Structure formats: structure tokens, C-alpha cells
């Protein structure tokens, strides 16, 4: 205490009765003193600094608090009460660095903050080098898409059985999350089976391509269990025969919406994409990548741009899901409404952008 009071004369008076400006200046000087000597301070010294700073730091400017939080975030002996106070601030520039890596924040505090704060705090927390099941349970329950993807991709995050079940359920609506969860080393065979059962065919193929060889074997077995027959997973689609068939249709003057609808209803993916490519002048590889994403918007956009009827667009959406998946009536109705609202000029600009990018 002698060091701090000699550095800032009248410190006790400033803490109790000083105006905000004097308190902010005292916070700056004492923080700097602590940071310079942190490696040599004993626990009782750290506690002394904690007692002063917890009352003074709130009066510092935002930039000063953010810088202090950044520097404290890497210290194993940072003042615990002060770190907890800063980690609970609404401003993510201040709370973020501490939530990402401060070793002095315990699980109890993380759970409390995860329950009460917003997505910025949850996203920062999901980047910690390790996360307990108690914390990830809250993250899975409250986190948005980006937060869940970050947490699922964190090898140091542990999930409870309930947390994993909820994560897999959320992955059913997010292809990127499915790919992330499917590559986790701690994913059990039953969990993999549940993950695949809730995913669409395109995402299953992509997952098969990116996982380790031993996981590919597990995917084949899981798909066999799901379908009841041995599963053959294609790693890449061969569009060459479909291109030849579409070229022949085009030469015969028979490449039209009716032919595309027949392909989609018959679940002929390669022929459908090749036909869309010929009709929209967007490359097959581009369309395949867009359609394989986690949203059905590209189908609505290309369909509107080339003047397709809703029945054909709906068939393409069902094709994307695969023959073993049936969309909910709500999802189909939402897609129909979005397709009806989409302006042709807007769709044409987007398709033009795809064409420009592929040319570049």
C-alpha cells in the first residue's frame, strides 16, 4: 500500500471523494504501476491493487479501459475482482479480450456472464483455449449461428451429452455447423449417426470429403445404419455425362423448363445443375458450390433470374435436400413467399455478379 500511496499522494481521499477526472488519472497511474511489476508481486500485493483499481477504473475513459483489459488478459495473477468487473462490461472492446483468454476468470463467472450478456460476449467466450461443459451448455442454448460454429470448431471445448444433442439439432439447419461438428475428434458413433440423419445429402458428401479417413469409414457405417442398406458415398460428382445430355437437348431445341422440372422430380442432380448452368450461363462448378451451401437462396435467385415457375423452383429445393429428406410445410411456404417477393432485376444482378466472378 505504501508504494501506491506514495505514487499518488492522497490516494485514499481520491478513492473516496475525488472527482471523476482525478480518479481516472489515479487509475491510469496505479494500473501502470501494477502492470510494470506484476511478475514480482505477491498475492497480498495483487489484492491491494485490486482493492484500489476496482473503484477507480470505472472512471477511466473507454479506450483506457479497453487497453487495460487487453494487457490484463494475459496475466495469470491479474486482479481477480477487477477482471471480473471488466469482463461484465457491456462494451465488447473491454470485455472481449478477457473473455477470450484471461486465466483468472473461473467457470462460475463464465456461466454467469454467458447467461446475462449478448452475442458478442458469447462469441468471445467461445474462443477460449478450453471450455467446460457447464459453459458450453449455455453457449449452445443462447448462441447464434456464428457463436455455435466457433464453439463447435474449438478443439478445447467440451460438451455434455445434452449440449451435444442440442448442438446436433441446431446443425440440422446449418450445413456449415454440420461440417464443423462432424470433424470433432470427440464425436461418438451414435452422435455422428444423429448428425447425419438430420443433414441433407449435399452436406453429407461434403463432410465425407473433408474428414479424416477413419471418420469416412464411420460415416459409411452410419449411413448404412440409417438407410438399412450399404451406403456408397460419392466424394465428387461427375458432371461430364450430364453435360453431354444437356448439350444434346439444346441442339434438339428441347432444353426448356419442362426438361429441367423432369430432371429435378427424378432427383437427377447432375442433369438439373447442368441444365441450370446452360440456361443461366453460370458455370456448373459455381452453381454446385452455391447450391451445396447452407441456404436455399441461390436456387430462388437463379430461378427468378431465368424466369422459372414456382413448381420448378420447389422441385429444385426438394432435389437439394435429397430423396430421403422432406422439408417442413413452413420452410416451403417461406421459400415460396421469398421467391414471390424477389424482384427479377435483383436476381439478374446477383447472377450477373456470379458470372463476372467466374470470368475473373
Q: Helix (H, G, I), strand (E, B), or coil: what is residue 83?
A: helix
**CA-to-CA distance for 201 and 313, rounded, in angstroms?**
18
Q: What is the pLDDT of residues 328-341, one digit of tens each?
A: 788 888 889 999 99
Q: What is the pLDDT of residues 214-268, one digit of tens each?
A: 888 888 888 888 766 454 555 567 889 988 999 999 899 999 999 999 999 998 9
* Residue 1 binned pLDDT confidence (cut-offs 50, 70, 90): very low
**187: Cα within 13 Å, side-chain hemisphere:** 28
Q: What is the pLDDT of residues 288-338, one digit of tens each?
A: 888 876 678 899 999 999 999 999 999 998 888 776 666 678 888 888 999
Q: Helix (H, G, I), strand (E, B), or coil: what is residue 30?
A: helix
* Cα-to-chain-centroid distance, residue 56: 37
Contact 121, 92 (CB under 8 A): yes
User: What pLDDT score was predicted for residue 70?
Assistant: 95
Residue 157: phi and psi, rounded to 5, are: -90, 135
Q: Average per-residue pLDDT in the chain? A: 87
**Burial of 178: CB neighbours in 10 Å, binned 0-12, 13-18, 19+:** buried
Q: What is the pLDDT of residues 10-58, one digit of tens each?
A: 555 555 555 567 778 888 888 888 888 888 888 988 998 888 889 888 8
Q: Is the pLDDT of residue 125 over 60?
A: yes
User: What pLDDT score was predicted for residue 18?
Assistant: 54
Who wins on pLDDT, 111 or 202? 111
Q: Is the pLDDT of residue 176 over 50?
A: yes
Q: Which of 105-114, 317-326, 343-352 has the lowest mean pLDDT?
A: 317-326
Amino acid at each position: 500500500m505504501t508504494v501506491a500511496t506514495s505514487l499518488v499522494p492522497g490516494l485514499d481521499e481520491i478513492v473516496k471523494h475525488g472527482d471523476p477526472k482525478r480518479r481516472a488519472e489515479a487509475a491510469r497511474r496505479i494500473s501502470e504501476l501494477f502492470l510494470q511489476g506484476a511478475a514480482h508481486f505477491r498475492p497480498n500485493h495483487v489484492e491491494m491493487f485490486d482493492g484500489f483499481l476496482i473503484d477507480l477504473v470505472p472512471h477511466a475513459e473507454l479506450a483506457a479501459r479497453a487497453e487495460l483489459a487487453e494487457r490484463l488478459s494475459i496475466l495469470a495473477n491479474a486482479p481477480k475482482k477487477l477482471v471480473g468487473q471488466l469482463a461484465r462490461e457491456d462494451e465488447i472492446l473491454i470485455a472481449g479480450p478477457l473473455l477470450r483468454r484471461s486465466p483468472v476468470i473461473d467457470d462460475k463467472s463464465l456461466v454467469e456472464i454467458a447467461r446475462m450478456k449478448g452475442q458478442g460476449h458469447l462469441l468471445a467466450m467461445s474462443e477460449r483455449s478450453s471450455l467446460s461443459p457447464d459453459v458450453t451448455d449455455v453457449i449452445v442454448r443462447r448462441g447464434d449461428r456464428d457463436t455455435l460454429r466457433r464453439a463447435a470448431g474449438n478443439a478445447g471445448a467440451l460438451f455434455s451429452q445434452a449440449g451435444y444433442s442440442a448442438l446436433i439439432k441446431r446443425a440440422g439447419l446449418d450445413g456449415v455447423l454440420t461440417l464443423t461438428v462432424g470433424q470433432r475428434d470427440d464425436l461418438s458413433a451414435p452422435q455422428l449417426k444423429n448428425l447425419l440423419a438430420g443433414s441433407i445429402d449435399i452436406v453429407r458428401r461434403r463432410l465425407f470429403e473433408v474428414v479424416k479417413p477413419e471418420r469416412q469409414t464411420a460415416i459409411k457405417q452410419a449411413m448404412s445404419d440409417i438407410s438399412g442398406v450399404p451406403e456408397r458415398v460419392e466424394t465428387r460428382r461427375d458432371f461430364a455425362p450430364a453435360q453431354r445430355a444437356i448439350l444434346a437437348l439444346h441442339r434438339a431445341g428441347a432444353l426448356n423448363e419442362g426438361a429441367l422440372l423432369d430432371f429435378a422430380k427424378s432427383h437427377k442432380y447432375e442433369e438439373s445443375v447442368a441444365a441450370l448452368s446452360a440456361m443461366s450461363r453460370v458455370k456448373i462448378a459455381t452453381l454446385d458450390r452455391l447450391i451445396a451451401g447452407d441456404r436455399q437462396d441461390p436456387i430462388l435467385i437463379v430461378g427468378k433470374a431465368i424466369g422459372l415457375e414456382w413448381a420448378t423452383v420447389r422441385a429444385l429445393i426438394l432435389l437439394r435436400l435429397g430423396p430421403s429428406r422432406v422439408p417442413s410445410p413452413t420452410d416451403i411456404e417461406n421459400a415460396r413467399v421469398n421467391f414471390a417477393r424477389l424482384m427479377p432485376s435483383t436476381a439478374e444482378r446477383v447472377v450477373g455478379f456470379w458470372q463476372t466472378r467466374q470470368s475473373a
